[in-house]
Amino acid sequence: MKKYKQAFSKSAVVVYCVMNLFVFGAIVFSALKLAGVGKLVSYFPFVDITTIVIFSFFLTFAGFLLFYASYGFGERTFVVRRAFFKQVIDRDAITRFIYDEASGAAALYFVNPLTPEALHYVAVNVRKKDMDDFIADLRALKSDIVIEVNPAPPSVEG
């Protein structure tokens, strides 16, 4: 299966890293309090244990979101993976793909067989340099898909 890693903006990666540093610090601080290191004492061990468990889950979830979010093409399916969640879209359900070059926003529209009266979509965030390959693979998956590319306006240089 051909995969494309989900792209995150640099600011989103920085925010995730800063949050993870604070969360990791809180886990270490709670563990030191539970261990009674130095003058640190845990007056409410349940709170510290809960903090460690919840923040550890948060670190795991954020890591999976950053490193394992991807889009993939199977023989007859388009697969979206985000953290622990997987969405499989049959190629016959896919109707159109719209990409705006100026903003980098893209969406894949499809019809869910359970609710055929509604048109659903999934946001596609891949690097701009990979978008042409992504569109080619999408066209290889479904040759009759409607692909709309809104070009970026020409830059005005003065």
Write down the pTM of the prediction.
Answer: 0.76
74-89 burial string, b = 16+ CB within 10 Å, else e? Answer: eeebbebbeeeeeeeb
Q: What integer best gives the mean pLDDT of the chain?
A: 89
In the chain, the N- to C-terminal Cα span, in Å, equals 47
pLDDT band, residue 52 (cuts 50/70/90): very high
pLDDT in tens, 100-116: 988 888 999 999 888 87
158: pLDDT strictly greater than 60 = no
Q: CA dihedral in degrees (111, 106, 71, 3; nearest 10)?
A: 130
Burial pattern 13-22, b for ≥16 Cβ within 10 A else e, equals eeeeeeebee
Say how far apart CA 103 and CA 125 lie, in whole Å.
11
**Nearest-angstrom CA–CA distance, 42 and 44:** 5
Per residue in 53-99, pLDDT (tens digit) is 999 998 888 888 888 889 999 999 999 998 778 999 999 999 999 99
Distance of CA 148 to the CA centre of its chain: 23
Contact (CB, 8 A) for 136 and 149: no
Query: Looking at residues 130-140, what average pLDDT do you find?
Result: 93
- Confidence category of residue 156, pLDDT binned at 50, 70, 90: low
